[in-house]
Amino acid sequence: MKFQKAAKAYPWPQDAHLALSIVVNVEEGAEANIQDGDKYPEPVDEMGIALKRPMRNLGNESNYQYGIKRGAPRVMRLLQEHEIPVTFTACALALERAPEFTREIVRQGHEVTSHGYRWSHQFNMNEEDERAYIRKAADSIQQSTGRRPVGWLSRYLTTPNTRRLLVEEGFKYHMDDLSDDEPFWDHHEGKPIVVLPYQVDNNDMKMWSEPSYTPDQWLKYAIDNFEWALREGEHEVNVMSIGLHLRIIGRPGRIWALEKFLAHVKQRSLKPHGPWIATREAIAEHFARHVPFRA
C-alpha cells in the first residue's frame, strides 16, 4: 500500500502521467435468447423488465440491435474523428453476426479482445466446459478479425479455474479484477499473465441500469476521475479505463457526452505529461517490458 509520495516504479511512454484505456463492449446479438438455447430471454433492457418465461422478448432483441445499427456507426465515427485507439471487448458471436461492423473495427486498427463466445454463465461451467468455451471464443474472434485475442474479460463472474485456463491457452492479460489502478503479475506454475484491472465506476452501464443517472453526471464523473488520476500520475502509475456499450452510449441523448470527454482528453494530450491513450494490449506489453516477471 502506498501512503506516501515516492518515485514512480516505471514511466508511461513520453512520460505521460496517465494511461487511458477506452473499452467498447460488443455484446449485441450474443445476449440470452431462447433461440440460442437459453432458458429465458435477456433480462436487461432500458425499462428494467425481466421475463422469467421461455419466450422471445422481441422488443428487447431490437433494443440490442439498435447498438449495431445506429450506436456502432456513431461510436466509430467519433473514434475515427479523434484518432482514438480503443480495445473492443467482444463476444465472439456478436462479431459473427455483425460482419460489416467487425470489418470496420479491423479497418480502423483497434484491438479486439475476448468477452467470451456469448453471454453464457461461465461461472457455472466445469473445467472442461470452461476451457472449451475460452477456446471457442478465441477461435471465432481469430476467424472474424484475422487475429487471435490476447486478453479476456468475462461476463460478470469467473471460476477458480479461469485465470489458470487463460494462462494455459496463451492469453497475455486478464481484465477480471477490480483491485487496483495499475497492472500486476499473476502466474500458474511459473507461467505469467498480466492482470489489467478494469474500472466499473466509469462504465456507461450506470445510465442503463439507473435511468436517473444522466449523461451529464457520467461526463462529470469521467472527467473528474481523469483529472485526478492525471494529477496523481506525477508520482503514481495509474491506468484509467472507460467502459462503453454501443446500445447505451450510442444513443443521440448520450453520444454527445462521449464526444465531450474525448475532446477534453485530446486537448489535455497536447500538454506536457498528458495522457497516453492506448489499447489494453499496449498497456500490458509496456508494463511487461518495464516490470519483468519474477515467480
- At residue 3, does pLDDT exceed 70? no
Q: What is the pLDDT of residues 232-251, one digit of tens each?
A: 999 999 999 999 999 999 99
Q: By C-alpha distance, which of 20, 293, 10 is closest to 181?
A: 20
CATH superfamily of this structure's domain 13-290: Glycoside hydrolase/deacetylase (3.20.20.370)
Q: By C-alpha distance, which of 102, 100, 117 is closest to 30?
A: 117
3-class DSSP assignment, residue 239: strand
Q: How confident is the model at residue 5 (pLDDT cuts 50, 70, 90)?
A: low
Q: By C-alpha distance, which of 244, 242, 241 is closest to 283?
A: 241
pTM for the whole structure: 0.95
Q: By C-alpha distance, which of 247, 279, 270, 287 is closest to 66?
A: 247
Q: How confident is the model at residue 184 (pLDDT cuts 50, 70, 90)?
A: very high
The DSSP string of 243-268 is EEEHHHHTSHHHHHHHHHHHHHHHHH
For residues 177-201, average pLDDT:
95
Mean pLDDT of the chain: 94
All structural domains of the chain with their residue ranges: 13-290
| pLDDT over 90, % of the chain | 81
3-class DSSP assignment, residue 231: helix
Q: How confident is the model at residue 91 (pLDDT cuts 50, 70, 90)?
A: very high
